[in-house]
Chains A and B, each alone.
Chain A
Amino acid sequence: GAGVSQSPRYKVTKRGQDVALRCDPISGHVSLYWYRQALGQGPEFLTYFNYEAQQDKSGLPNDRFSAERPEGSISTLTIQRTEQRDSAMYRCASSPTGSGNTIYFGEGSWLTVV
């Protein structure tokens, strides 16, 4: 594909609902990252995969957040029982391998919890 693809681009959900954000990385990229960016802040690391293995989930803020990449390609970030403080842009990125490579970002998914 042309680049990292994320969907939905915009999501408005009511507090307490679950949301799933999808990321389709660049074909062949081994590593996939999720970042969260609140208004006025820089991107903040959430989690990272090599192939289907979740290598680091230390950035997930609490157990309402989870991510998977079952076949080593598309990834889903799920937020359960959403709260207003979850409102942010969620950015996905991919790179050919883990270390030392440029990472390529998608356009992001804007989540608003009302």
Chain B
Amino acid sequence: AQRVTQPEKLLSVFKGAPVELKCNYSYSGSPELFWYVQYSRQRLQLLLRHISRESIKGFTADLNKGETSFHLKKPFAQEEDSAMYYCALSGLETSGSRLTFGEGTQLTVNP
């Protein structure tokens, strides 16, 4: 079975502060990990995926297989980063790009 855990439902930081959204997963094979984001009144969209090793909007995430984690980090949070963030996983045992999502973390960046 596969599972994604986001331990924080709510996270509040001040503008300019570092932010880390935690994600842990359980999966027996080689997973592919993603972060999806939903800004207010917008649709759910891909932020980044671990295989791309990109930095998107200043966010990075490193897959740590030893700790089974894929935490999302940004050194200096901006007010426009306020949104709902979902960590998701897909694996070889699941069909196509079927995703297993965590419960999400609501990030609020205060001025």
Residues of chain A at the chain B interface (Cβ within 8 Å): 3-4, 31, 33, 40-45, 48, 50, 55-56, 91, 95, 98-108
Contacts and interface: CB of A to CB of B under 8 A. Distances in A.
Contacts of A3: 43
A56 B95 contact: yes
Nearest to B49: A102
A32 to B, nearest CB: 10
Nearest to A3: B43
Describe B's contact surface by its main secondary structure.
loop
Given A41-B103, A42-B104, A105 B45 contact: yes
The interface size bin for chain B is: 20 to 34
Given A40-B103, A42-B86, A42-B101, A98 B95 contact: yes
Interface in B28-53: 32, 43-46, 49
B83 interface: no
Given A42-B86, A42-B102, A43-B86, A99 B97 contact: yes
28 contacts: A33-B98, A40-B9, A41-B103, A41-B104, A42-B6, A42-B86, A42-B104, A43-B44, A43-B86, A43-B99, A43-B101, A44-B101, A45-B98, A45-B99, A45-B100, A48-B98, A50-B96, A56-B95, A56-B96, A99-B97, A100-B32, A102-B97, A103-B99, A104-B45, A105-B43, A105-B45, A106-B43, A108-B44
